[in-house]
Amino acid sequence: MTMDHVAEKGLVLLGCGKMGSAMLQGWLGDGLPPASVWVIDPNPSDWLRGTGVHINADLPALPAIVLVAVKPQMMGDALPMMRDRGNGDTLFVSIAAGTPISAFEQALGGQTPIVRAMPNTPAAVGRGITAIIGNAHATPEQLDLADMLLQAVGQVVRLEDEGQMDAVTGLSGSGPAYVFHMIECMARAGEAQGLAPDLAMQLAQATVAGAGALAEAADETPAQLRQNVTSPKGTTQAGLEVLMHEDTGLPPLMARTVKAAAERSRELRNG
C-alpha cells in the first residue's frame, strides 16, 4: 500500500487540531492531493480552509484510511458515524491518547483493522516520535502504511504489545513537558548565579535543543558524549556530581517521574 492507494481511495481525518494539522501539512507537502482528503472538524481553522481539502463534506464510502485525531472525550460522538466503514478494508489509525484498541473494536466492529499510535508534541515541528501497535486485523501492509503516514511528523517505532503504550506515554508522550521544565529550572539557576532572565532563558533553551540535536546526530552514546565533555576536577564534573547523585540526583527522580506518568496511564486505561 502506497500514498497512491491513499490518494485514490481517500483519507479521512477525524479532528484537525494541532496534531492533525501538523500531519496534514506533512502529507500535503509530500504530494497527497487535497482532493483526496476529507476532514471532519467542528471548528476548522483558517489554515485548514485554505488547503483545498474537503471540510465537513460527505465522506467516501470506503476510504483507505481514517485517522482518528479527536480528543478522547469526543470519541463517543465521532466513532458511531464511522461504524458502517468498520469490519472492512478501511484502516483506522488512532492518535487519541489513552483509548485502547478494544474500544475501537467495540465501536467499529471486531474485524476492523486498527492501529493505535502515540505521537508527542514535537510533531508540530516535524521532530516527533510516534509508537505504533496494530490489532490482529491490521495487515503488515497496513502497518507499513500507518508508519509511512506518521513519518510526516517525525520518527516512528513499533511496539510488541499494546501494554507497552503506558511506558511510552510516561517516557516520550509526557516527556517533552519534563524537558520544558528542565529548561525552566536551568534558566532560573542561571538567574540565581547573576544572569538576566532573558539571557538565562536563551542560554538554557539553546543548550537543551543543541545537546538533543547532538545526541541524535552523534555516533557515540549520550553516556560517551557526557564523558567527552567532563574533564577531571573541572566545572562539568562539579555540576554532574550533584546531578548524578544516586540518592538525591536526577536518576532516581527521573525514574519516579516516568513511573508516575506510566502508572497514571494504566489507571486511566483501567477506568
Residues that constitute the known binding site for NADPH? 56
Question: Which residue from 107, 119, 55, 67 is spatially nearest to 91, judged by alpha carbons?
Answer: 67
Residue-by-residue DSSP string for 182-240? HHHHHHHHHHHTT--HHHHHHHHHHHHHHHHHHHHH-SS-HHHHHHHT--TTSHHHHHH
Residue-by-residue DSSP string for 17-81? SHHHHHHHHHHHHTT--GGGEEEE-SS--HHHHTS--EESPPPPSS-SEEEE-S-GGGHHHHTGG
Binding residues for NADP(+): 14-19, 69-72
Parallel, antiparallel, or unpaired: how do β-strands 91-94 and 65-68 relate? parallel
In the chain, what is the greatest distance between 2 CA atoms, to the nearest angstrom? 68
Measured over the CA atoms of residue 138, residue 139, residue 140 and residue 141, the dihedral's sign is negative
Q: What is the spatial distance between Cα 63 and Cα 113, in angstroms, rounded to a whole number?
A: 13
Q: What is the spatial distance between Cα 117 and Cα 93, in angstroms, rounded to a whole number?
A: 7
Binding residues: 14-19, 56, 69-72
What are the beta bridge partners of residue 26? Answer: none
* Count of alpha carbons within 13 angstroms of residue 144, beta-carbon side: 7
